[in-house]
Structure 1
Amino acid sequence: MHQLGEQLSVQVTGGPTALIDYGGLRFLTDPTFDEPGHYGRPDGKPGLTKTAPASVTPADLGRIDAVLLSHDEHPDNLDHSGRKLLTDVPLTLTTPSGAGRLGGTAKGLENWETVELDRPGGGVVTVTASPALHGPEGSEKVTGDVVGFVLTGQGLPTVYVSGDNASLDVVRQVADRFGPVDTAVLFAGAPRLKPVFDGALLVLDSALAAEATRILGARTVVPVHIDSWGHFTEGRDDLVAAFTEAGLADRLRLG
């Protein structure tokens, strides 16, 4: 658990999943709680292999006010247990296409659209949908729509949750609107699948995550999406090395 202020803490549970306590509300990113195993694809395209379990179970989490779901189409962002969890939460914020597939309490947000959630004791948290690009330019037709999120509120720090984004141009758009941010929850891990875009990055690698930190002016960075899956090609040590080389190691918060 990273206690990042009186009104903010982040608990990383494995893969892309983190529990964010923010202004009295509890947000969960991309829920993945299945046991390790392989996820094949009926179309014969490369599947994904989970290599390690989450550090907690859904039952350990307690109350969840909203899920921040970058996208629903890949099992390393929403697995079977995660889908089951969605049926028990009051709100899932995601892409418009994802909300159409999920139904239930899912709400789709267009880029820069906002939702206000009431805080216990008064006031609101504003969730703003930010763009994300899951691969190289033009990858949307293959990897699908993805969304990130920015959390703001009166007297609260600004928190950016990148989702599965590989584009620094997207990060610059967020920085132009919201920077400097207090905390960035950056999806990293340099995932690659050789048959997909000739092995191009699907999400930030460690060096790009460090550059994203600089662009955002982020005071602290909590990396997620850096472990537990076989197609992630970089992990904790790579992040530390990249942030150290960039002179930003003091901003990293690693669980």
Structure 2
Amino acid sequence: MTDALTATLIGGPTILLEVAGIRILVDPTFDPPGEYPSGPSVLVKTTGPALGAAEVGTVDVVLLSHDQHPDNLDRAGREYLATVPLTVTTTAAAERLGGTALGLAPWTHTETTLPDGRTLTIGAVPAQHGPDGMEASSGPVIGFVLAGDGVPTTYVSGDNASVRVVEEVVDNQGPIELAVLFGGGARAKRLDAYLTLRAHQAVKAAELLDARAIVLVHAEGWAHFTQGQQDFADAFAAAGRSELVVLAPGESRTL
């Protein structure tokens, strides 16, 4: 029997996943609305988190797709990491963050023990934060696959703009039961490039994943998102697909 997974959207890319007695937080962002420098650009946060760090409380693991952009790890998120027993992230981010951060290269993994003694495998998978050739500008990013005996195999995309990368994940890690897809069609105007999936790409990714549920994150709360939650819902409906889960910030769903 497979355990149920409960997902709670905090806001932006930040989501709490609870499964098999373990609490996992993705890309902690707890800062209020405002302007946040990001390299030569400034990102504008339009809404604050539905739950603050204290309301989220303690977690067992943070999955951090990358640390170099404030819409994925902000000042309050960095402070929060000091309370976390294990932060799994890129090797570059782990070197910068220190503490409990563990860096993984794509296609490597670590393991943690669940409360009942079972093993949860946390695998790192590729993520392409923009079009081909963008890594030098965007920096390294990873996604994750959670798996274990009785645990639904769950893909967390991180900031990824490539459907081809999703196909690679399925080929190497599938079958995928649940997925958390970063959307929003985030756009860097100075580079004239999309840095995360747009709605039509998310539909193609869903076709490849064939997951029973896909939770959308990273589609509200920031001005550089070119598409919102409704755009993704409309695209899935037009394609006749029903697996997309769109949560309001603060809302939970058991899958």
TM range (shorter): over 0.9
**Using CA pairs below 8 Å that are at least 6 residues apart, which structure has the higher relative contact order?**
2
Q: How does 1:87-126 map to 2 (within 5 A)?
A: 87-126=82-121
Superposition deviation, residue 254 in structure 1: 1.3
Amino acid corresponding to residue 24 of structure 1 in structure 2: G
Q: 2:146 aligns with which of 139, 146, 151?
A: 151
Amino acid corresponding to residue 204 of structure 1 in structure 2: L
Amino acid corresponding to residue 252 of structure 1 in structure 2: L
Q: 1:234 aligns with which of 218, 227, 245?
A: 227
Superposition deviation, residue 6 in structure 1: 4.1
Tell me if 1:30 matches 2:27.
yes
1:16–1:29 CA contact under 8 A, matched in 2: yes
TM-score normalised by length of structure 2: 0.94
Tell me if 1:15 matches 2:1.
no
Q: 1:208 aligns with which of 193, 201, 211?
A: 201
Structure 1 equivalent of residue 215 of structure 2? 222
Amino acid corresponding to residue 205 of structure 1 in structure 2: R
What is the distance in 1 between the residues matched to 2:222 and 2:109?
32
Corresponding residue pairs, total: 246
What is the distance in 2 between the residues matched to 1:30 and 1:183?
18
What is the distance in 1 between the residues matched to 2:17 and 2:149?
17
Q: 1:131 aligns with which of 126, 130, 148?
A: 126
What is the distance in 2 between the residues matched to 1:242 and 1:18?
22
Tell me if 1:55 matches 2:47.
no
User: CA RMSD of the aligned region, Å?
Assistant: 1.1
What is the distance in 2 between the residues matched to 1:121 and 1:159?
19
1:134–1:140 CA contact under 8 A, matched in 2: yes
TM-score normalised by length of structure 1: 0.94
Question: How much identity, in percent, do the aligned residues show?
Answer: 49
1:134–1:202 CA contact under 8 A, matched in 2: yes
**Structure 1 stretches of 4+ moved >6 Å:** none
Superposition deviation, residue 179 in structure 1: 2.3
Which blocks of at least 5 consecutive residues in structure 2 are unaligned? 248-255
What is the distance in 2 between the residues matched to 1:161 and 1:193?
22
2:233–2:246 CA contact under 8 A, matched in 1: no
Q: 1:39 aligns with which of 27, 36, 39?
A: 36
Bigger strand share: 2
Superposition deviation, residue 163 in structure 1: 0.1
Which blocks of at least 5 consecutive residues in structure 1 are unaligned? none
Amino acid corresponding to residue 148 of structure 1 in structure 2: G
Superposition deviation, residue 162 in structure 1: 0.1
What is the distance in 1 between the residues matched to 2:240 and 2:182?
20
1:64–1:89 CA contact under 8 A, matched in 2: yes
